[in-house]
Amino acid sequence: MTAIDLSLRVEPGTPLLELENLRTHFKTERGLVRAVDGVTFTLNRGESLGIVGESGSGKTVLSRSIMGLLPSTAVNHGVVKFAGRDILGLSSKEMRHLWGAEMSMVFQNPLNSLNPLMKIGKQITEPLKLHLNMDKIDARDTALQLLRDVRIPEAERRLDQYPHELSGGMRQRVMIAIALACGPTLLFADEPTTALDVTVQAQILDLINEQRRNRNMSVILVTHDLGVVAGHTDQIAVMYGGKLVEYAPTKSLMRSIPRLEDPSHSRLATIPGRPPDLVNPPKGCNFAPRCLYAQPKCHVEEPSLTPAADPAHVYACWYPVGTPEFEKRDAELQETGYMPDDISAVS
Amino acid sequence: MSYWLQRLGAAIALLLAVSMLTFGAMNLLGDPLFNILGPSAGDTETEEGRQIIQAAKDEYNLDDPLPARYVQWAAGFVTGDFGVQFGLDGEPPVSDLIKERLPRTLTLLIMAQMMAVTLAIPWALFSASRADSAIDKVSTVTSFMFIALPSFALAVIMKYLFVIKFEIFPLIFNAADPLASRLWQMVLPAMVLALPAASVYQRLLRTDLITTLQEDYILTARSKGVSKRNVLFKHALRPSLFSFITIFAINTGALIGGALIVEQVFIIPGLGSAIVEAILREDFPVVLAIVMIVTAGFVVMNVLVDLIYSIIDPRVRAS
């Protein structure tokens, strides 16, 4: 069997992952880039969390700084606890024992994330030999089983093939097999389906979810595609400008995306403008400069996460839907017939 | 299969073209008769002079048209008969001269390339893994120094330092010494060739390694828990070797040029000194033979490089 249980001796009640005010800054010539700027959440074993946000919102950096995979130009502050242990600031030498063994990552582009000059088998057995001290034969058998687990046809033959001989979807399955090899407790999936065919996307997500249930593993799914997180995560965290701006059970957040029942040819609402400059973030709410509903207060004071009616749902906004200020502005916008994708109206 | 046949055909065509050009140029630009006989080539006044001229013309088939002479030469060349030297009363035959000189230059080149590679790979790995650190900058300056320094200057400096000042290496090459001591006498000259070559290789390999280290699959390897050292050796090195190998092959040609100078400074009677002397005498059977050998060596190197590409990269093998 492949599911070698390396489960950490997590005290019942201790979350697998705890983040407290995690900040990741990059020193650049332009100044300090606040890629992740104060993120707090907890994740229990077996749970899955979707991190969504537009490009440049810091979601990929967040997942990499939790894992400690960022280049040395990144400076981290705050607390990251993995199974109760503080892991932020550990050297890569110390982190190496967690990488692949306790936490692993599936990357965005399966075409580039496998070594093109190394046979599939060798790439899967590498962490097995490294962390579980398997010999060649055991490692190969395990690799074969892993390939079958991720449902790769003709698994035996694949072991001796090179990545270029496999399709994109199969390569992502191989990536997942590699990530699962040593039975990690936490899996990061960084836009695992962006580079894939729509039909393959669902299969890959189902596969990750199925493995999560089988292995009682936690998953952090990073994506800009709300559809991806919809059916596959328990919680959703929305990031904007390096900050967590909303955190909610998946069910309650999903009401805010377009649906099939909407009349056809209705124009999709887009957000004008670009993500904030993370070197000189705007004063007040990061989103205010692009927000159609921004009020004077939004440009001055930064909102903090406040619980909604359902306390599991928190958000950072001064005037969310339902407040009088929001409704008033909404009525104004309706009147002027403003199209949200008309950038000139904002600037 | 047909690919390698094509390569073979191209190699033969190249050798033919080079030999025709060299043969034609040397015959048209100089007067072979003068090169053979010296000043007496103009002695048409006396009967004796005319006889000598006729004898030389007969011996070297100089009355035949140029294409016919080329064919004669080529027919001899492929059977290993490289013709007769013009100077020195035609002794020894060119093939004997080559047999004596070639092994020395070949040893020098192989030794130099081996040194250059063994130096360049660890050097590149070291500086690429510490890109832009202080030590990497020192290494960059050092490598540029070796590249910029003319080889005769480096040769003289090394000879002064290691032979005269510290007396580590022997002063002269002695063809009569046993093999081991002859090899030892070659070490310093090979080093003079190797240092600039290693610097060029290091520059290229370092740049390619830095590019490779940005690749997603390097991050994958790190996220599997592979140590930094093994990421470099097992994941980054192999995909970074391509331009290095290409330059390695091309540089072999440049090294032959460098060997010419090094052989002069260290007084090693090799092909380099042979071709210099031959050019000065316009002794073109010798020049031609050496040009052909260098060209053939170059062609073989390039085929080897293609072979190595396909060993390194399975994607090359497939296409």
Helix (H) or strand (E) holding A104: strand A103-106
Give the start-to-end residue ranges of the domains of chain B.
2-87, 95-318
Which amino acid, residue B17? Answer: A
Min Cα distance A229 → chain B (Å) is 23
Residue A346 backbone dihedrals phi, psi, to 5 degrees: -90, -45
Which residue in A126, A162, A178 has the most chain B C-beta atoms within 10 A of its own C-beta, making it the best mutation to test that interface? A126
Min Cα distance B234 → chain A (Å) is 9
Residues of A in contact with B318 (CB under 8 A): 164-165
Which residue in A115, A125, A174 has the most chain B C-beta atoms within 10 A of its own C-beta, making it the best mutation to test that interface? A115
Task: Say how far apart CA A273 and CA A268 lie, in whole Å.
Answer: 16
Q: Which of A15, A55, A1, A33 is nearest to A183 (CA)?
A: A1
ipTM, interface predicted TM-score of the complex: 0.80
Task: Say how far apart CA A64 and CA A36 lie, in whole Å.
Answer: 11
Task: Say how far apart CA A232 and CA A102 lie, in whole Å.
Answer: 21
Residues of A in contact with B216 (CB under 8 A): 107-109, 112-113
Task: Say how far apart CA B50 and CA B42 lie, in whole Å.
Answer: 9
Residue B238, judged by CB atoms within 10 A of its CB (0-12, 13-18, 19+), counts as middle
Residue A188, judged by CB atoms within 10 A of its CB (0-12, 13-18, 19+), counts as buried
Residues of B in contact with A175 (CB under 8 A): 220
Per-residue pLDDT of chain A (347 residues; tens, 9 = 90+): 333 344 445 566 788 999 999 999 998 888 888 889 889 999 999 899 999 888 888 888 999 999 988 888 888 999 999 988 899 888 888 888 899 899 999 988 888 899 999 999 999 999 999 999 999 999 999 999 999 988 889 999 999 999 999 998 899 999 999 999 998 999 999 988 887 788 888 888 888 888 899 888 999 999 888 777 877 888 889 898 888 888 888 766 655 555 666 566 656 666 777 778 888 888 888 888 888 778 888 888 888 888 887 777 888 888 887 788 888 887 887 777 655 544 443 33
Q: Which of A98, A87, A97, A68 is nearest to A186 (CA)?
A: A98
Q: Which residues of B make CB contacts under 8 Å with A?
A: 215-217, 219-228, 234-235, 238-239, 312-315, 318
Task: Say how far apart CA A326 and CA A319 lie, in whole Å.
Answer: 6
| Model confidence, pTM | 0.80
Cβ neighbour number for residue A269 with a 10 Å cutoff: 10
The reply to whether residue B238 touches residue A117, judged by beta carbons under 8 angstroms, is yes
Which amino acid, residue A82? Answer: F
* Bridge partners of residue A31, in order along the sequence: A28
The reply to whether residue A117 touches residue B314, judged by beta carbons under 8 angstroms, is yes
Please give the CATH architecture assigned to the domain spanning B95-318: Orthogonal Bundle (1.10)
Q: Which residue of B has its CA nearest to A119?
A: B314
Residues of B in contact with A96 (CB under 8 A): 225-227
Chain A, chain B: beta-carbon pairs less than 8 Å apart: 77
